Amino acid sequence: MLVSPNLSDNLTPNIEIKVFPDGESYVRVPGIRDLAGKGAALLHRLYPEPDKSIFQALLILDTLRKAGAKPTLISPYLPYARQDKIFLEGEALSSEVLCRMLKLAGAERLVTLDCHFMKKEGKSVYGGLEIESVSMGNVLLEHARMKVNGEELEVISPDAGAAYLVEGHGGKSMKKVRGEYVEGEETYRRIEKLEGDFDVKGRNVLILDDMISTGGTMLRAVDNIKKGGAKKVLCAATHGLFLKGSLEKLKASCDSVFVTDSIPSPVSEVKFMPVLKEKGIV
Ligand code: R5P
């Protein structure tokens, strides 16, 4: 197993990644000769600093490919996975470009967690790349049950894209509608509507999503559930990017917020490596 330094919170790194004085990335895979003709699991995060981390992955994959290895890239969070549709003419289909580049560089397969554009657990081919999306939904739910001391818990997803995370547990989904892009340098589509009329009065509720980015979705969902008179409101997601101070805002608005360590954060309470081990992926 090859481990990048950006996963040192989970495993001991055995790949070197450094920077040249001008900021360009340097990578080296010690003992690469032994990998010729063999499958190799490469654990490397593609976030934070997605553009830089992606380029490092391309360098490692290409180096492995040239040495005759057959690498499976294991990246817990797949950046650019939300740009999977063309909204305005002339936009880049970033999710597909990324997968195609990973394949071209030498990835035989990609394993990731709750891949946004797949909207389900399982295998698929996208941009010519074989992808396996492993869901963290069950372990997040188990963790939530522990937090409410085994009391009953309703599970709700804040939009249809995350419905697969809750459906197996009798959960329902809210309806989210995004509007046009906001003006300015930053590209973001405002949430126009987020609704769901559920009977949550006096009940514990877990709102479960694939990711919390700016927190806009989760904050609206919490507001909605609280207005319905819920007892405890818990928020969880596989990936916690927590941009724009959203972790503090969420902590202040609900009873508990937690995510996995796909992206390290102060509330990465659920580990992803045991899930990959249980599935025989690592
Ligand atoms: C979107 O469809 C995803 O499932 C998440 O709901 C979304 O990406 C979260 O983004 P934000 O935290 O910025 O609302």
Classify residue 163 by burial, with Cβ atoms within 10 Å: 0-12, 13-18, 19+.
Answer: middle
Average pLDDT over residues 151-165: 97
User: How many A from CA of 259 to the centre of ligand 1?
Assistant: 14
User: How many A from CA of 209 to the centre of ligand 1?
Assistant: 8
* Ligand 1 binding pocket, CB closer than 6 Å: 82, 158-159, 161-162, 209-218
Give the mutation target among 175, 193, 211, 253 for probing the ligand 1 site: most ligand atoms within 8 A of CB. 211
Classify residue 220 by burial, with Cβ atoms within 10 Å: 0-12, 13-18, 19+.
Answer: middle
Residues 77, 240: Cα–Cα separation, whole Å: 10
Six-digit token pair at 195? 């609704």
Percent of the chain at pLDDT > 90 equals 98
52-67 pLDDT tens trace: 999 999 999 999 999 9
User: How many A from CA of 214 to the centre of ligand 1?
Assistant: 8
123-150 pLDDT tens trace: 999 999 999 999 999 999 999 999 999 9
Give the mutation target among 187, 217, 243 for probing the ligand 1 site: most ligand atoms within 8 A of CB. 217
264-274 pLDDT tens trace: 999 999 999 99
* pLDDT of residue 223 exceeding 90: yes
Average pLDDT over residues 258-265: 98
Is residue 249 within 8 Å of residue 240, measured between CB atoms?
A: no
* pLDDT of residue 219 exceeding 90: yes
* pLDDT of residue 192 exceeding 90: yes
Nearest to 80 by CA among 58, 55, 97: 97
Whether this model's pTM surpasses 0.95:
yes
Average pLDDT over residues 179-192: 91
DSSP 63-76: HHHHTT-EEEEE-S
- Mean pLDDT for all residues in the chain: 97
Nearest to 134 by CA among 206, 207, 75: 75
User: How many A from CA of 104 to the centre of ligand 1?
Assistant: 29
33-46 pLDDT tens trace: 999 999 999 999 99
Q: What is the pLDDT of residue 197?
A: 86
Percent of the chain at pLDDT > 70 equals 100
* pLDDT of residue 194 exceeding 90: yes
Average pLDDT over residues 93-110: 98
Give the mutation target among 209, 214, 220, 223 for probing the ligand 1 site: most ligand atoms within 8 A of CB. 209
Residues 158, 123: Cα–Cα separation, whole Å: 24
Average pLDDT over residues 219-240: 98
| Closest C-alpha to ligand 1, atom 5 | 211
